[in-house]
Amino acid sequence: MTSIKVHARPADIIKDAVVKMDAILADFPFTDEKIRKAATDFVTRYRNSRANSLGHTVGMEVHDVRNPTTTLEPGQVFTIEPAMQIADEHLGIRLEDMILITETGYENLSAFVPVEIADIEKTMVKHGLSDAQIKTK
């Protein structure tokens, strides 16, 4: 996400992000070969990407069909939803963030959502919308 820039082309953002991910991969002390391979495959998918977007746009529909411009412009809202998988163990993780492009960069509209395991577990024990759904059935 640190590669996101207003008025930039998504393909250029992806290229910049791959450079950063390569540096992280080179220095990360993986202790599990399957996780190292999944992370490497993840970066390779981005390296070989011919995508013209960073995720799906959000506007009139939750999944709008395409970006209205070739660059990221103020007021645009889209998702970034990278997925890392360990196929032979049927494991996968996808963290989806909703991004608003601003005049000076971006705002992560979903920054309040927990991503650390301990924080997710704390949130899971709280009463919330899912509890309301159960009571109405």
CA distance 37 to 95: 19
- Going from N- to C-terminal start, the domains of the chain cover 10-136
pLDDT, averaged across the chain: 86
pTM of the model: 0.78
How much of the chain exceeds pLDDT 70, in percent?
88
Burial class (CB in 10 A: 0-12, 13-18, 19+), 98: middle
Q: Does position 129 have pLDDT exceeding 60, yes or no?
A: no
The per-residue pLDDT for 61 is 64
Predicted pLDDT of residue 14? 92
Element (H, E) at 35: helix 33-47
CA dist 1 and 28 (Å) reads 19
The more confident residue out of 14 and 50 is 14
Judge whether 87 and 97 are in contact, CB under 8 Å: no
